Amino acid sequence: PYDGPTAGEILKRRSEFLSPSFFHFYKKPLNIVEGKMQYLFDEEGRRYLDAFAGIATVCCGHCHPEITEAIISQTKKLQHSTVLYLNHAIADFAEALASKLPGDLKVVFFTNSGTEANELAIMMARLYTGCHDIISIRNAYHGNASGTMGSTAQKNWKFNVIQSGVHHAQNPDPYRGVFGSEGEKYARDVQEIIEFGTSGQVAAFIAEAIQGVGGIVELAPGYLPAVYKTIKEAGGLFIADEVQSGFARPGSHFWGFQAHGVTPDIVTMAKGIGNGIPLGAVVTTPEIAKVLTRRNYFNTFGGNPVCTAAGLAVLRVLEKEKLQQNAFAVGSYLKDGLKSLQEKKHDIIGDVRGRGFMLGVELVTDRQLKTPANAEILHVMELMKDMGVLVGKGGFYGNVFRITPPLCFSKEDADYFLEVMDVALSKL
């Protein structure tokens, strides 16, 4: 049994010694002391089904034994910076990772986070094209350093960042966007941004195929192929941010962009890549990668042996446990169940969307007006937590449930999740 500090004690120290901008879920925040596959345990030993592990980067399950073993065993052998000497761990993982990507995407740069990966990708695109302008989509989240905060387009996540060179295009949001699911119509905005706001040449277009922080918004079909054409005509690169939608989470595909039939020039990743270990990566073509030979690119811990050993174990486990297939089968089943709650029982569910284990449920108090149900979602989250289910929340208006469980989430877990959500919504 746990005999460490209580939730109250930790909260007190957190408010004294940690960032005043920290926030937490639930009126009485949970003190999580242990994780095991799809479950989390609080200080009293209470078990919770974790339907929001995706945010904490866990793709194969909390403390997955094989991945934990790989981390421990490498830690006992060597942990160092990988830049100056040779070590097999970084090469093993880079080769395995490159094999998961299409086309000529086979040169890997390792970082420690998604922010760093996107910063590096943006810099490489600027170097390669000799242009400065970046186009990203409204409602995007790409990170919290200068370039990535500039390309992030959500007021909650922006400080006094220098916006230089970043243009934000209309969000191809099938639920709230003016053109519904007609992706090509939204793509015209990218064309107009280039025509009205740039020299006609741009460095890159960056996007998440499924917006995560933005509330699980799948870009309208037809959008990415149309934008891809436009960007190529303007000499720019397409950067796919797969920090949330990568590593088998979409189920139908290993990467989110694959559902749109386009091949990016640069792919960035983090979160699921290391099952909870701080690791990020940029994968690009040999030709684009060459721009970094103009100077030295040095990242002390990027690709260190412990993190890359974890990454390799993740790829092994995804394959061995057929987790992409599970994300597809159970994710589709869960989505059907959520749709039937929307259609048959709960008017407050305005939209159910996403694919695999990246699902969103948007709550609205009026289906016609799509009025965000902000108070209601908080209440339902509390009730679900009390029944042992943890779910995430997000979206521009903060009224979307984000359901991103570990990929080992079973059909029984999905049934339990649906039952708990149904009961909680019925209590509103």
- Which residues of the chain form contacts with ligand PMP (CB under 6 A)? 113-115, 118, 141-143, 208, 212-213, 241, 243-244, 270
C-alpha neighbours within 13 Å on the C-beta side of residue 350: 21
Q: Which is nearer to ligand PMP, 210 or 220 (CB)?
A: 210
Least distance CB 311 / ligand PMP (angstroms): 14
Least distance CB 336 / ligand PMP (angstroms): 26
Least distance CB 280 / ligand PMP (angstroms): 6
Beta strands in 356-418 (DSSP E): 358-366, 371-372, 389-390, 392-394, 400-403
The answer for residues whose C-beta is within 8 angstroms of residue 263's C-beta and 6 or more apart is 102, 103, 105, 257
Calpha distance 272→415 (Å, rounded): 24
CB-CB contact of 219 with 176 (8 Å): no
Q: Which is nearer to ligand PMP, 219 or 420 (CB)?
A: 219
CB-CB contact of 391 with 401 (8 Å): yes
- Residue type at 10? I
CB-CB contact of 24 with 394 (8 Å): no
Q: Which is nearer to ligand PMP, 151 or 399 (CB)?
A: 151
Of all residues in the shown chain, the one whose CB is closest to ligand PMP is 114
Least distance CB 361 / ligand PMP (angstroms): 18
Q: Which is nearer to ligand PMP, 311 or 337 (CB)?
A: 311
Least distance CB 247 / ligand PMP (angstroms): 12
Calpha distance 353→215 (Å, rounded): 10
Least distance CB 209 / ligand PMP (angstroms): 10
Q: Which is nearer to ligand PMP, 270 or 373 (CB)?
A: 270
Least distance CB 37 / ligand PMP (angstroms): 23
Q: Which is nearer to ligand PMP, 74 or 152 (CB)?
A: 152
Least distance CB 244 / ligand PMP (angstroms): 4
Q: Which is nearer to ligand PMP, 134 or 270 (CB)?
A: 270
Q: Which is nearer to ligand PMP, 38 or 57 (CB)?
A: 57
Q: Which is nearer to ligand PMP, 90 or 269 (CB)?
A: 269
Calpha distance 359→350 (Å, rounded): 14
Q: Which is nearer to ligand PMP, 118 or 139 (CB)?
A: 118
Least distance CB 262 / ligand PMP (angstroms): 17
CB-CB contact of 372 with 363 (8 Å): yes
Q: At what angle do helices 305-320 and 88-98 cross, to 10 degrees?
A: 40
Alpha helices in 239-354 (DSSP H): 286-289, 305-320, 323-344
- Rg, Å, the chain Cα set: 21
Q: Which is nearer to ligand PMP, 241 or 351 (CB)?
A: 241
Sign of CA dihedral 38, 43, 46, 52: negative
Least distance CB 111 / ligand PMP (angstroms): 9
Least distance CB 199 / ligand PMP (angstroms): 28
The answer for residues whose C-beta is within 8 angstroms of residue 279's C-beta and 6 or more apart is 110, 111, 112, 270, 273, 307, 308, 310, 311
Calpha distance 162→225 (Å, rounded): 30
Report DSSP state, residue 62. Answer: B
**DSSP3 helix / strand / coil % (the chain, rounded to 5):** 40, 20, 40
CB-CB contact of 140 with 152 (8 Å): yes
